[in-house]
Amino acid sequence: MSIRPFRDIKRKKTREINVGDVKIGNNNPISVQSMTNTLTTDIKLTLKQIEAIAEEGADLVRVSIPDEDSAKALKEISKHSSIPIVADIHYHYKRALEAAENGAKCLRINPGNIGDKKKIKDVISAAKNNNCAIRIGVNAGSLEKDILDKYKEPCPEALVDSAIRNISFLENEDFFNFKISVKSSDVFLAIAAYRQLSVKVDYPLHLGITESGSFIPGSVKSSIGIGSLLLDGIGDTLRVSLSDDPVKEIKIANEILKSLNLRNKGVKIISCPSCARQGFDVINTVKILEKKLSHIKTPITLSIIGCVVNGPGEASQTDIGITGGGKDSNMLYISGLQNKKISNNEMVSEIVKLVEKKATELKK
């Protein structure tokens, strides 16, 4: 059983590209990525972080290549990474050439700081020769000088103008395996730029609110910006950018997609904020269940409601549900139907057992 969405989101159909074995665009699932914040030259630590990011549900991971030693380290990192690597390139185009040769499946370049056309042509050739995708990463903070002179300041039209210019350059070089982003730290600027660009092109769009801040403000800004675009049907891949552990970026990204019924992965918990009517400690129960059920990747809905005001109604729409009752007597629901009364002490262990059982059944 799953909650039927009030309104299905109709995604704009875009071209399909390949980043390693991950297909992006068209009707493929919206992919999520994060970026390592380790020194790339520390191969062991970088791989450890990549695997933590992948375990949380990332489809791709971006790795910064600031120098030649990092490019050399990428060769070993790419051999052992369980998900495709996007090489983050700024200023020095030779790092892009080395990254493509050393196993990167996508090159993220910012045309505003990569150099002249000859250097960009060399990057495209490296991408072609190594079956590597490209992301055109337009950013409000690093637009080309002539575009800034034209528009006087970063604005949606300036970001789109930069994107269209660089799209044309790649097309003229007979290269089409690319995606585009037009990011800004300003939510309104980013939303407007993506909306304008989506009307003009059919290439897959990578969504993000860049430099969005620490965990709470960054999560809120990203949810508003990315969520607004996804509701419009815009977006094929995304990153939530936080000044925090990269694993948390994946958590928030997946929650954004799950809340819009665009991605169903893992246990989706519907829970109340709790109040004096609660029959058990809702907040701590949810925290414990999130940890104990984090290994479940099968889509399952679970409602944890502290009292009978909304509990039965929520339980009727979830796979498994608990509604708080009086005197340590809570009601367990399975597939929307009352099953049995359950005490506070046995609640967590019983729910974990039922969710694991449900996950096993759904896999068959």
Q: CA Rg, the chain, in Å?
A: 23
Average pLDDT over all residues of the chain: 93
285-296 as b/e, with b when 16 or more CB fall inside 10 Å? bbeebeebbeeb
317, exposed or middle or buried, with CB in 10 Å at 0-12, 13-18, 19+? middle
Asked whether the beta carbons of 25 and 204 are under 8 A apart, the reply is: yes
CA distance readout (Å), 139 to 32, 64, 125, 274: 19, 17, 24, 42
Q: What is the pLDDT of residue 242?
A: 96
Q: What is the pTM of this model?
A: 0.89
Structure confidence by residue, pLDDT tens digits, 128-164: 999 999 999 999 988 888 999 999 999 999 999 999 9
**Alpha helices (H) in 237-294, listed in sequence order:** 246-259, 282-292
Least confident of 22-31, 110-119, 167-176, 234-243: 110-119
CATH architecture of 17-259: Alpha-Beta Barrel (3.20)
For 142, half-sphere exposure in the C-beta direction (CA atoms, 13 angstrom radius) is 16
Backbone angles phi, psi at 73, to 5 degrees: -65, -30
Distance from C-alpha of 155 to C-alpha of 150, rounded to nearest angstrom: 11
Helix axes 156-172, 187-200, angle to 10 degrees: 40
Extract the tokens encoding 94: 């030779």
Tens digit of each residue's pLDDT (9 = 90 or more) over 317-354: 999 999 998 778 899 999 999 999 999 999 999 999 99
Alpha-carbon gap, residue 127 to 109, rounded angstroms? 12
Give domain 267-363's CATH architecture: 2-Layer Sandwich (3.30)
Domain range list for the chain = 17-259, 267-363
Task: Rank 102-106, 164-168, 277-281 by mean pLDDT and report only the highest.
Answer: 102-106
Give the pLDDT of residue 323.
95
pLDDT digits (tens, 9 = 90+) for 37-82: 999 999 999 999 999 999 999 999 999 999 999 999 999 999 999 9
The CA-based diameter of the chain, rounded to the nearest angstrom, is 76
- List the Cα angle 233/30/316 in 5-degree steps: 80
Pair type for strands 106-109 and 85-89: parallel
Domains 17-259 and 267-363 share a fold: no
Question: What is the model's pLDDT at position 331?
Answer: 94
Residue carrying structure tokens 């104990």: 292
